[in-house]
Structure 1
């Protein structure tokens, strides 16, 4: 399992539900958007999706995401 946290430019107005619905896709195990902090945290299967694909999905609904943190599966870490 991999995790990625995106910071989100709050323009257009941050819509937590829109982001979470957009991230209901194969490979995503859990997504949580925090409108106050302007972040989206996603737990996903790196064998199905990449962080870049998630970023493009968020961009596709009109936001400008940037990666804050990203972690791979524990067995890939030293």
Structure 2
């Protein structure tokens, strides 16, 4: 078993949200109405801003740890 961390440079905090809107957030966003979705995404953006710093060049580094393992039958 091993862990690998991938780093993705994105241009803004909003780009972090966009990254996840097409994958992990999709089922949750699909379950919300338009007003709820707007409110949720606004709160999520604030949380991202609080937890992921902007780099000196203005970009944001999205850290994506992944855990890998092998199995044998």
The TM-score with structure 2 as length reference comes to 0.29
Tell me which protein shows more helix as a share of its residues: 2
Tell me which protein shows more strand as a share of its residues: 1
Structure of larger gyration radius = 2
